[in-house]
Copies of this chain bind each other. A is one copy, B any other.
Amino acid sequence: MRNAALDPISDMLATDPWFGGIAPVRRESLLREARVETLEGGARIYGAGDPPNGLWAVIDGQIRLKSLSANGAELLALIVRPGTWFGELSTLDGHPRPHDATAFGPARLLHVPMAAFARAAEAHPALYRDLGLLVCAHQRTALRFIAHSVGRSIRARLAQALLRASHAETGHAETRHAEEGRIGEAPVVIRQEDLAAVVGIARQTLNRHLKQFERSGLVSIAYARVEILDVPALRAIATE
Protein backbone atom coordinates (compact mmCIF):
# COMPACT_ATOMS: atom_id res chain seq x y z
CA MET A 1 0.00 0.00 0.00
CA ARG A 2 3.00 2.34 -0.09
CA ASN A 3 2.79 5.31 -2.34
CA ALA A 4 6.25 5.64 -3.83
CA ALA A 5 5.36 8.92 -5.49
CA LEU A 6 5.27 10.50 -2.04
CA ASP A 7 8.91 9.74 -1.24
CA PRO A 8 10.47 13.05 -2.28
CA ILE A 9 7.58 14.86 -0.66
CA SER A 10 8.13 12.85 2.48
CA ASP A 11 11.75 13.94 2.63
CA MET A 12 10.79 17.55 2.21
CA LEU A 13 8.15 17.33 4.92
CA ALA A 14 10.59 15.71 7.32
CA THR A 15 12.46 19.01 7.50
CA ASP A 16 9.48 20.48 9.32
CA PRO A 17 10.20 20.54 13.06
CA TRP A 18 6.85 19.06 13.95
CA PHE A 19 6.56 16.38 11.29
CA GLY A 20 10.26 15.55 11.52
CA GLY A 21 9.87 15.09 15.24
CA ILE A 22 7.19 12.44 15.28
CA ALA A 23 7.94 8.73 15.10
CA PRO A 24 8.68 7.47 11.57
CA VAL A 25 5.99 4.78 11.84
CA ARG A 26 3.37 7.40 12.42
CA ARG A 27 4.75 9.65 9.71
CA GLU A 28 4.39 6.71 7.38
CA SER A 29 0.88 5.93 8.45
CA LEU A 30 -0.13 9.54 7.99
CA LEU A 31 1.38 9.74 4.53
CA ARG A 32 -0.26 6.47 3.56
CA GLU A 33 -3.60 8.13 4.10
CA ALA A 34 -2.64 11.38 2.41
CA ARG A 35 -3.57 12.48 -1.08
CA VAL A 36 -1.92 15.19 -3.13
CA GLU A 37 -4.26 17.97 -4.22
CA THR A 38 -3.41 20.55 -6.83
CA LEU A 39 -5.06 23.93 -6.50
CA GLU A 40 -5.38 27.00 -8.64
CA GLY A 41 -4.63 30.44 -7.29
CA GLY A 42 -7.41 31.72 -5.09
CA ALA A 43 -8.82 28.26 -4.45
CA ARG A 44 -10.43 27.85 -1.07
CA ILE A 45 -9.26 24.99 1.11
CA TYR A 46 -11.76 25.73 3.83
CA GLY A 47 -13.64 28.69 5.21
CA ALA A 48 -14.09 30.08 8.68
CA GLY A 49 -17.00 28.36 10.38
CA ASP A 50 -16.79 25.24 8.20
CA PRO A 51 -16.77 21.85 9.85
CA PRO A 52 -13.27 20.36 9.82
CA ASN A 53 -12.18 18.62 6.64
CA GLY A 54 -8.91 17.20 7.87
CA LEU A 55 -5.24 17.98 8.06
CA TRP A 56 -3.20 19.68 5.36
CA ALA A 57 0.42 20.27 4.48
CA VAL A 58 1.85 22.65 1.91
CA ILE A 59 4.04 21.02 -0.74
CA ASP A 60 4.35 23.92 -3.19
CA GLY A 61 2.97 27.41 -3.21
CA GLN A 62 1.60 29.52 -0.46
CA ILE A 63 -1.51 29.24 1.68
CA ARG A 64 -2.85 32.23 3.54
CA LEU A 65 -4.94 31.89 6.66
CA LYS A 66 -7.28 34.79 7.19
CA SER A 67 -9.99 35.61 9.63
CA LEU A 68 -12.33 38.50 10.02
CA SER A 69 -11.55 40.86 12.83
CA ALA A 70 -14.48 41.93 14.95
CA ASN A 71 -15.03 45.08 12.94
CA GLY A 72 -15.29 43.15 9.70
CA ALA A 73 -11.83 43.90 8.37
CA GLU A 74 -9.90 41.05 6.86
CA LEU A 75 -7.13 39.93 9.10
CA LEU A 76 -4.22 38.01 7.65
CA ALA A 77 -3.30 35.59 10.36
CA LEU A 78 -0.57 33.51 8.81
CA ILE A 79 1.21 32.73 5.59
CA VAL A 80 1.83 29.00 5.38
CA ARG A 81 4.78 27.88 3.31
CA PRO A 82 6.00 24.56 1.92
CA GLY A 83 6.77 21.93 4.52
CA THR A 84 4.30 23.25 7.03
CA TRP A 85 1.18 21.50 8.28
CA PHE A 86 -1.99 23.35 9.15
CA GLY A 87 -5.63 22.76 9.94
CA GLU A 88 -4.84 20.69 13.01
CA LEU A 89 -6.97 22.63 15.46
CA SER A 90 -10.35 21.70 14.05
CA THR A 91 -9.11 18.28 13.05
CA LEU A 92 -8.29 17.52 16.65
CA ASP A 93 -11.22 19.09 18.45
CA GLY A 94 -13.85 18.74 15.73
CA HIS A 95 -15.04 22.32 16.08
CA PRO A 96 -15.51 24.80 13.22
CA ARG A 97 -12.58 26.29 11.39
CA PRO A 98 -11.34 29.54 12.91
CA HIS A 99 -9.86 30.78 9.63
CA ASP A 100 -10.33 30.94 5.92
CA ALA A 101 -7.57 29.06 4.14
CA THR A 102 -6.99 30.04 0.52
CA ALA A 103 -4.25 29.36 -1.98
CA PHE A 104 -2.25 32.44 -2.89
CA GLY A 105 -1.16 31.47 -6.36
CA PRO A 106 -1.17 27.86 -7.60
CA ALA A 107 -0.35 25.35 -4.91
CA ARG A 108 0.03 21.66 -4.21
CA LEU A 109 -1.12 20.32 -0.89
CA LEU A 110 -1.10 17.06 0.96
CA HIS A 111 -4.51 16.26 2.37
CA VAL A 112 -5.41 13.86 5.17
CA PRO A 113 -9.23 13.88 5.43
CA MET A 114 -10.94 13.39 8.77
CA ALA A 115 -11.83 9.76 8.15
CA ALA A 116 -8.33 9.04 6.93
CA PHE A 117 -6.81 10.61 10.01
CA ALA A 118 -9.18 8.63 12.19
CA ARG A 119 -8.06 5.42 10.46
CA ALA A 120 -4.40 6.23 10.95
CA ALA A 121 -5.03 7.20 14.55
CA GLU A 122 -6.82 3.96 15.23
CA ALA A 123 -3.69 2.08 14.28
CA HIS A 124 -1.46 4.56 16.08
CA PRO A 125 -3.29 6.31 18.92
CA ALA A 126 -0.19 8.34 19.66
CA LEU A 127 -1.06 10.35 16.57
CA TYR A 128 -3.54 12.21 18.74
CA ARG A 129 -0.72 13.21 20.98
CA ASP A 130 1.37 14.21 17.97
CA LEU A 131 -1.44 16.37 16.73
CA GLY A 132 -1.73 17.90 20.17
CA LEU A 133 1.93 18.86 19.95
CA LEU A 134 1.25 20.66 16.69
CA VAL A 135 -1.54 22.60 18.36
CA CYS A 136 0.90 23.42 21.16
CA ALA A 137 3.43 24.77 18.69
CA HIS A 138 0.85 26.99 17.06
CA GLN A 139 -0.47 28.06 20.44
CA ARG A 140 3.00 29.19 21.41
CA THR A 141 3.23 31.18 18.20
CA ALA A 142 -0.08 32.84 19.02
CA LEU A 143 1.04 33.67 22.56
CA ARG A 144 4.29 35.12 21.28
CA PHE A 145 2.31 37.16 18.81
CA ILE A 146 0.07 38.57 21.52
CA ALA A 147 2.95 39.37 23.85
CA HIS A 148 4.74 41.03 20.99
CA SER A 149 1.81 43.08 19.78
CA VAL A 150 0.39 44.68 22.88
CA GLY A 151 1.75 48.15 23.38
CA ARG A 152 4.55 47.86 20.83
CA SER A 153 5.49 50.62 18.46
CA ILE A 154 4.29 50.43 14.91
CA ARG A 155 7.90 50.26 13.70
CA ALA A 156 8.51 47.15 15.75
CA ARG A 157 5.29 45.48 14.71
CA LEU A 158 5.89 46.24 11.07
CA ALA A 159 9.39 44.84 11.18
CA GLN A 160 8.03 41.74 12.85
CA ALA A 161 5.25 41.40 10.29
CA LEU A 162 7.73 41.68 7.44
CA LEU A 163 9.93 39.00 8.91
CA ARG A 164 6.94 36.75 9.43
CA ALA A 165 5.64 37.36 5.93
CA SER A 166 9.00 36.45 4.51
CA HIS A 167 10.17 33.23 6.06
CA ALA A 168 12.95 34.83 8.02
CA GLU A 169 11.38 34.90 11.42
CA THR A 170 12.54 31.57 12.70
CA GLY A 171 15.96 31.84 11.15
CA HIS A 172 15.98 28.53 9.30
CA ALA A 173 15.24 30.14 5.97
CA GLU A 174 18.75 29.70 4.67
CA THR A 175 18.31 25.96 4.26
CA ARG A 176 15.39 26.52 1.98
CA HIS A 177 17.14 29.00 -0.22
CA ALA A 178 20.65 27.67 -0.16
CA GLU A 179 19.90 25.38 -3.05
CA GLU A 180 18.87 28.33 -5.19
CA GLY A 181 22.16 30.00 -4.41
CA ARG A 182 20.44 33.11 -3.15
CA ILE A 183 21.65 35.05 -0.16
CA GLY A 184 18.78 37.44 0.43
CA GLU A 185 15.12 36.71 0.99
CA ALA A 186 12.45 36.06 -1.59
CA PRO A 187 10.28 39.15 -2.06
CA VAL A 188 7.02 39.17 -0.19
CA VAL A 189 4.14 39.49 -2.59
CA ILE A 190 1.53 41.44 -0.70
CA ARG A 191 -0.47 44.61 -1.16
CA GLN A 192 0.35 47.40 1.24
CA GLU A 193 -3.32 47.40 2.08
CA ASP A 194 -3.04 43.82 3.33
CA LEU A 195 0.21 44.43 5.11
CA ALA A 196 -1.45 47.31 6.90
CA ALA A 197 -4.22 44.95 7.99
CA VAL A 198 -1.65 42.55 9.41
CA VAL A 199 -0.10 45.27 11.52
CA GLY A 200 -3.50 46.70 12.33
CA ILE A 201 -2.98 50.22 10.97
CA ALA A 202 -4.23 52.32 8.06
CA ARG A 203 -2.70 51.89 4.65
CA GLN A 204 -1.41 55.47 4.60
CA THR A 205 0.34 55.05 7.90
CA LEU A 206 1.85 51.79 6.76
CA ASN A 207 3.15 53.47 3.64
CA ARG A 208 4.84 56.16 5.70
CA HIS A 209 6.71 53.64 7.84
CA LEU A 210 7.52 51.37 4.95
CA LYS A 211 9.02 54.26 3.04
CA GLN A 212 11.09 55.07 6.06
CA PHE A 213 12.42 51.53 6.09
CA GLU A 214 13.21 51.84 2.40
CA ARG A 215 15.10 55.06 2.92
CA SER A 216 17.18 53.27 5.55
CA GLY A 217 17.95 50.52 3.07
CA LEU A 218 16.12 47.84 5.01
CA VAL A 219 13.63 46.96 2.31
CA SER A 220 12.92 47.68 -1.30
CA ILE A 221 9.38 48.46 -2.39
CA ALA A 222 7.75 47.57 -5.69
CA TYR A 223 4.22 47.15 -6.96
CA ALA A 224 2.39 44.78 -4.60
CA ARG A 225 5.75 43.53 -3.40
CA VAL A 226 8.24 44.18 -0.66
CA GLU A 227 11.75 42.85 -0.76
CA ILE A 228 13.60 42.42 2.47
CA LEU A 229 17.17 43.59 2.23
CA ASP A 230 18.49 43.67 5.77
CA VAL A 231 17.17 40.89 7.95
CA PRO A 232 19.39 41.54 10.98
CA ALA A 233 18.43 45.19 11.12
CA LEU A 234 14.75 44.32 10.91
CA ARG A 235 15.19 41.74 13.65
CA ALA A 236 16.76 44.41 15.80
CA ILE A 237 13.89 46.79 15.18
CA ALA A 238 11.34 44.06 15.79
CA THR A 239 12.71 43.39 19.26
CA GLU A 240 13.54 46.92 20.29
A residues sitting closer than 8 Å to B (CB atoms) are 67-71, 73, 75, 77, 89, 92-93, 95, 98, 125-126, 128-129, 131-133, 135-140, 142-143, 145-152, 156, 197, 200, 239
Of B68, B128, B200, the residue contacting A132 (CB under 8 A) is B128
State whether B139 touches A142 (Cβ < 8 A). Answer: yes
- Within the complex, the shortest CB–CB distance from A188 to chain B, in Å, comes to 19
Q: Is the interface of A mostly helix, strand, loop or mixed?
A: helix
Kindly state the separation between the CA atoms of A126 and B148 in the bound complex, as whole angstroms. 34
State whether B69 touches A151 (Cβ < 8 A). Answer: yes
- Within the complex, the shortest CB–CB distance from A34 to chain B, in Å, comes to 20
Query: Which B residues are CB-close (under 8 A) to A71?
Result: 151-152
Kindly state the separation between the CA atoms of A136 and B87 in the bound complex, as whole angstroms. 12
- The chain B residue sitting closest to A73, CB to CB, is B151
